[in-house]
Amino acid sequence: MVDLERIKAETVAYFRALDQNATLRHHFRHADEEGGLWYIEAVPDRGELIVIKQAELTPAGQLHRYNWEHLEDEHSGLTDRSTLKGIRWRPSRPRSSSRCGLGERARQPL
């Protein structure tokens, strides 16, 4: 039987460690076809960039934020590493992503 609580605890611990121990952070933004805006913060781990914070501003003006303290909800969840591939992400300044909740506010539970 799968121990979902253990898996969730290990997932939270992984993303928390990446966030708290990161010495290099990358910020990207993307506008999707529906008019939504995406902002992510990623850190290197084992040769890949791993998304540790994510914010989506929907065309309707709703803000959805995800990080190690809030991995998922009924709308979506923190992306997996494969999402960085196949989408044209543009580099973004950290202050841009902070305005959409990736900064200190993202550390607070929603």
- The domain of 52 spans 4-107
The amino acid sitting at 50 is I
Q: Considering its fold, how many domains does the chain have in total?
A: 1
Position 97 pLDDT exceeds 70: no
CA angle 62, 91, 76 (to 5 degrees): 30
pLDDT band at 89 (very low <50, low <70, confident <90, very high): confident
Tens digits of per-residue pLDDT, 7-23?
A: 999 999 999 999 999 99
**What pLDDT was estimated at residue 16?**
96
CA distance 39 to 2: 33
Burial class of residue 36 in the structure, from the number of CB atoms within 10 Å of its CB (0-12 exposed, 13-18 middle, 19+ buried)? middle
Please tell me the pTM assigned to this model: 0.76
Dist CA 21 CA 54 (whole Å): 18
